[in-house]
């Protein structure tokens, strides 16, 4: 005997259709929100207003990823690492006061070292220590160098701190001559689908604290962290988050290095490296339009805009942003770092193989 199939009554069918409509509407809202976030991260809704109150000149064709300024000597240390590693990679020394002099590649860097980030520390006796971060497959490293200046500048490696925690090291900030913070984050592509996928997967970025003996994870779950800077008194750590276009702030526990989240502040660009400027502000270089950066990486004839902003502070809290440089990519494309060296502004780009020196107009 055939068993009759259960039939849905009209009331049940209406409930099912309503439930499916709600699920469909929620799914559509989720998709639209995800696409909007991806387009926002890529800079689709950003208008770039180019300008700089001064003059800029190309000083070197080098893949400059980061710059650290020694306040005492006024000299600039450059992390040079091409997109495809080559023999020119290394750490260079430049004199911003004499942009006509080519940067000097410093001896003392180990073979196969491709620096992505730098941080300087001067001790009370005047000794200068340079930390340099180099990512690597499986295990990257942060190396410490003592710096010799004068007639024959050179580096002497004093520590090679290798760890799987530094496999994707992206930035470093010295706490003292032995300790530092670092960002470890797998790279995220700049095209639409890479950014979209990044929102569908867990955030793997983390902040590492090296206490002089071993590295510790002190913050994790960050999405695409890129730049890192300590406040002048060391009480705050600032982190640039490129996809959310924000500057995150952490209060620092001075002995163990623990961090406590202290809020975020919006930025008008996707931040790359951060640099402290005069102890009272931060310079942030980056990409107004990440999608343009992805296009430029594939086709150098399509330049990617660059921008540099100054973040102002009230106490430890960010309070206002001022654009100080912007370019559609013809002067320098896809900027990675900007630092102040006296009255000059230095801007570097690894993707564009450029170091730019900018001098403000008189009276500025």
Residue 57: CATH number of its domain: 2.120.10.30
Q: Does residue 31 fall inside a structural domain?
A: no
Radius of gyration of the chain, Cα coordinates, nearest whole angstrom:
23
Is 20 within a domain? no
pLDDT at 191: 76
Spatial distance between the Cα atoms of 83 and 353, rounded to a whole number of angstroms = 9
Reported as a pLDDT band with limits 50, 70 and 90, residue 197 is confident
Model pTM score: 0.89
How far, in Å, CA of 95 to CA of 104, rounded? 9
Q: Judge whether 354 lies within some domain.
A: yes
Does residue 268 lie within any of the structural domains? yes
What would the mean pLDDT of 349-354 be, rounded to a whole number? 95
Task: Report pLDDT for 311.
Answer: 96
Nearest to 58 by CA among 332, 325, 328: 332
Q: Is 280 exposed, middle or buried (0-12, 13-18, 19+ CB in 10 A)?
A: exposed
Rounded to an integer, the average pLDDT of 161-165 is 92
205: helix, strand or coil: strand
Write down the pLDDT at residue 322: 96
167, 221, 310 from 186: Cα distances, Å: 8, 12, 27
> Token pair of 29, please?
């809202």
- What is the pLDDT, as a whole number, of residue 248? 96
The pLDDT value given to residue 34: 67
CA distance linking residue 263 with residue 247, whole number of Å: 8
Average of per-residue pLDDT values in the chain: 89
47 inside domain? no
- What distance in Å separates the CA atoms of residue 156 and residue 107, rounded to the nearest whole number? 8
**Amino acid 123: pLDDT:** 85
Q: Is residue 76 part of a domain?
A: yes
Give the burial class of 295: count Cβ atoms within 10 A of its Cβ; 0-12 exposed, 13-18 middle, 19 or more buried: middle
Residue 234 reports pLDDT greater than 60: yes
* Cα–Cα distance list, 282 to 213, 317, 333, 338, 345 (Å): 30, 12, 21, 10, 13
pLDDT at 312 over 70: yes
Q: CA 113 to CA 115: how far, in whole Å?
A: 6
Number of Cβ within 10 Å of residue 138's Cβ equals 7
| Torsion angle in degrees (nearest 10) through CA of 285, 289, 293, 294 | 140
The domain containing residue 102 runs over which residues?
53-360
Whether residue 364 is predicted with pLDDT greater than 70 in this model: the reply is no
Q: Give the C-alpha separation, 61 to 44, whole Å.
A: 30
With both helix axes pointing from N to C terminus, report the angle between 290-298 and 192-200 in degrees, rounded to the nearest 10.
130
Q: What is the pLDDT of residues 51-106, one digit of tens each?
A: 999 999 999 999 999 999 999 999 999 999 988 778 889 999 999 999 999 999 99
Residue 80 maps to a domain: yes
Nearest to 128 by CA among 93, 161, 88, 166: 93
- What is the number of helices (H) and of strands (E) in the chain? 3, 24
Spell out the alpha helix ranges (H) of 151-232. Answer: 192-200
Residue 30 within a domain = no
Give the total number of structural domains in the chain: 1
């Amino acid at each position: 005997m055939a068993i009759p199939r259960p039939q849905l009554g009209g009331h049940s069918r209406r409930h099912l259709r309503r439930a499916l409509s709600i699920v469909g509407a929620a799914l559509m809202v989720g998709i639209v929100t995800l696409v909007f976030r991806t387009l926002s991260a890529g800079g689709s809704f950003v208008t770039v207003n180019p300008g700089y109150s001064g003059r800029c000149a190309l000083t070197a064709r080098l893949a400059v990823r980061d710059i650290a300024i020694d306040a005492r000597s006024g000299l600039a240390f450059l992390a040079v690492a091409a997109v495809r590693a080559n023999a020119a990679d290394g750490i260079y020394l430049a004199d911003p006061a004499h942009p006509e002099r080519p940067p000097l590649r410093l001896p003392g860097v180990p073979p196969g070292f491709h620096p992505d980030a730098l941080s300087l520390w001067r001790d009370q006796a005047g000794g200068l220590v340079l930390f340099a971060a180099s990512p690597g497959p499986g295990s990257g490293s942060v190396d410490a160098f003592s710096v010799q200046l004068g007639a024959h500048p050179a580096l002497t490696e004093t520590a090679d701190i290798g760890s799987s925690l530094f496999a994707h090291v992206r930035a470093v900030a010295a706490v003292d001559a032995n300790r530092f913070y670092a960002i470890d984050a797998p790279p995220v592509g700049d095209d639409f689908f890479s950014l979209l996928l990044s929102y569908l997967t867990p955030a793997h970025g983390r902040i590492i604290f090296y206490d002089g003996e071993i590295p510790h994870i002190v913050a994790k779950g960050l999405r695409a962290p890129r730049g890192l800077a300590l406040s002048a008194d060391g009480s705050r750590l600032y982190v640039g988050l490129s996809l959310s276009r924000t500057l995150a702030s952490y209060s620092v526990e001075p002995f163990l290095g623990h961090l406590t989240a202290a809020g975020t502040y919006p930025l008008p660009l996707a931040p790359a490296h951060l640099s402290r400027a005069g102890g009272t502000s931060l310079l942030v270089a980056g990409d107004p339009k990440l999608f343009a950066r992805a296009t430029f990486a594939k086709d150098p004839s399509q330049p990617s805009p660059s921008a540099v902003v100054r973040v102002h502070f009230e106490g430890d809290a960010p309070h206002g942003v001022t654009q100080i440089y912007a370019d559609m990519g013809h002067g320098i494309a896809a900027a990675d770092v900007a630092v102040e060296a006296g009255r000059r502004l230095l801007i570097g780009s690894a993707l564009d193989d450029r170091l730019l020196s900018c001098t403000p107009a008189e009276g500025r």
